[in-house]
């Protein structure tokens, strides 16, 4: 486990993989009354900013949770905190035990009518991270789902289009060569396309050439298309 972090300690440490083993070991030791250090089972009065006091139990069971008191079985017996609607009571308290909280706990042992609302709220928050209302709120994940769905759809459309452009290519036809364009022009003129304002209006059919147009400025207008002279 995390024994690597504590290499200076000898290898005689017993590692308990479940909280049940830990508790039975403690119970057995208490039965035989050989264990004199009961302090290791209780939370120490510590500065929460300093690393916790190292002893056998802390090094084996809860190097991750620090000073926090183990209060229950929880979900699977591990000393982990959780906020779940299925299991109201987690296995450890949420916050570390500070001297202020210790004072409140002592006050809690008396009459609860003496506790103010603020003190009760502090006690609650020291034991639990979120209230039921807070962790059962809807998180609005449907917005993300809808957005990513639209983005995925757009992305797939782009990929589909790009694939088609990449794969289904053709050599361009040769109808854009000059020869073919010339014959095309002849056909258009023969078919009288654009007789009033278009192409054929610039062709002088009696002579067989392009008309010589004179513009408003007195200069000749050259037609745009290539001519057959």
Which residues of the chain form contacts with another protein (CB under 8 A)? 71-75, 82-83, 85-89, 91, 105, 108-109, 111-115, 117, 120-121, 123-124, 126-137, 139
Locus of tokens 């070991």: 25
Q: How far is the CB of 33 from another protein (least distance, A)?
A: 19
For another protein, the closer CB: 109 or 169: 109
| 214 φ, ψ (degrees, to nearest 5) | -120, 125
Q: How far is the CB of 125 from another protein (least distance, A)?
A: 8
For another protein, the closer CB: 94 or 210: 94
Q: How far is the CB of 51 from another protein (least distance, A)?
A: 23
Integer Cα distance of 224 and 161 in angstroms: 36
The CA dihedral of 53, 42, 118, 80, to the nearest 10 degrees, is 80
For another protein, the closer CB: 70 or 189: 70
Q: How far is the CB of 145 from another protein (least distance, A)?
A: 14
SS3 31: helix
For another protein, the closer CB: 25 or 75: 75
Contact between 70 and 92 under an 8 Å Cβ cutoff? The reply is: yes
Integer Cα distance of 121 and 105 in angstroms: 13
């Amino acid at each position: 486990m995390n024994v690597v972090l504590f290499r200076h300690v000898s290898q005689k440490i017993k590692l308990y993989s479940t909280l049940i083993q830990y508790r039975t070991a403690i119970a057995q030791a208490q039965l035989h009354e050989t264990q004199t250090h009961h302090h290791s089972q209780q939370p120490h009065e510590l500065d929460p900013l300093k690393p916790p006091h190292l002893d056998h139990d802390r090094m084996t069971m809860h190097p991750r949770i620090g000073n926090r008191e183990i209060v229950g079985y929880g979900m699977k017996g591990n000393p982990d905190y959780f906020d779940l609607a299925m299991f109201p009571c987690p296995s450890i308290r949420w916050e570390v035990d500070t001297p202020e909280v210790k004072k409140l706990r002592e006050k809690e042992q008396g009459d609860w009518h003496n506790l103010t609302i603020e003190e009760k709220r502090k006690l609650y928050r020291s034991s639990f991270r979120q209230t039921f209302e807070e962790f059962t709120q809807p998180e609005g994940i449907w917005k993300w789902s809808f957005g990513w769905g639209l983005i995925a759809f757009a992305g797939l459309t782009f990929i589909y289009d790009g694939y088609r452009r990449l794969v289904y290519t053709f050599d361009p036809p040769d109808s854009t060569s000059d020869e073919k364009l010339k014959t095309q022009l002849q056909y258009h003129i023969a078919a009288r396309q654009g007789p009033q304002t278009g192409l054929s209006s610039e062709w002088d059919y009696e002579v067989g050439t392009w008309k010589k147009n004179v513009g408003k400025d007195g200069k000749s207008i050259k037609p745009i298309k290539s001519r057959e002279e």
